[in-house]
Amino acid sequence: MKIRVKLYASLAEYLPAHAADNQAELEVEAGTTPARIIAALGLPGEMCHLVLVNGVFVEPSARDSQPLEEGDALAIWPPVAGGQGSASVTVTPAKAGSSLSGNYGFPSVRE
């Protein structure tokens, strides 16, 4: 099955050679999880701070058990820091059946 992976910031260097615009379409086995993609691309686990599937946050504890489906969009961000002072952002998982608005740089994969 095919999925689209988009890696942000310093993680983009882990994409395959055929990637463009920090994203690549990958052919993966049915039942593949975000954790398996992270490992297959050689991404350091501690650098995969924010993981979304189709715009919905995937908690670290679910990354090895949530199977991806045909056409899914997997987006991964590293930890982000910068500027003066400190700030924090809390990400709360979406409730079942809801999703975040916006396409996060992906073309629409589901209607």
Residue 62, pLDDT > 90, answer yes
Torsion angle in degrees (nearest 10) through CA of 13, 54, 4, 89:
0
Tell me, what's the pLDDT at 5?
97
Model confidence band, residue 111 (pLDDT cutoffs 50, 70, 90): very low
Please write the tens of the pLDDT for every residue from 65-107: 999 999 999 999 999 876 555 555 555 555 555 555 555 555 5
Alpha-carbon distances, residue 60 vs 10, 79, 84 (angstroms): 20, 14, 28
**What residues does each domain of the chain span?**
2-77
Closest CA to 39 of 69, 73, 76, 2: 76
* CATH number for the domain formed by residue range(s) 2-77: 3.10.20.30
Closest CA to 68 of 32, 37, 100: 32
- pTM, 2 dp: 0.73
Alpha-carbon span 65 to 71, nearest angstrom: 18
